[in-house]
């Protein structure tokens, strides 16, 4: 699973799991989640019913 961190006083961060406990910061390149705004959680659901969890 990938890691997503939300924050209230700094930017949100998204890290892609590359296996073997290696994670790559893909905050800006893949998701655009790096905006500095109030965040207090992430919703995870399979919105398109493809078997993968979506944020």
Burial class (CB in 10 A: 0-12, 13-18, 19+), 14: buried
Which residue did the predictor score with more confidence, 3 or 40? 3
> CA–CA separation, 19 vs 23, rounded Å?
7
Contact 28, 14 (CB under 8 A): no
Question: What SS3 state is found at 5?
Answer: strand
- Whether the full predicted model's pTM is greater than 0.85, yes or no, is no
Q: Which tens digits make up the pLDDT trace of 19-55?
A: 999 999 988 765 556 566 677 777 788 889 999 888 7
Q: Tell me how far apart the alpha carbons of residues 55 and 47 are, in angstroms, rounded to a whole number.
A: 9
């Amino acid at each position: 699973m990938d890691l997503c961190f939300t924050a209230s006083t700094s930017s949100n961060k998204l890290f892609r799991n590359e296996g073997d406990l290696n994670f790559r910061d893909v905050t800006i390149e893949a998701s655009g989640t790096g905006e500095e705004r109030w965040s207090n959680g992430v919703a995870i659901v399979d919105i398109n019913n493809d078997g993968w969890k979506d944020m």
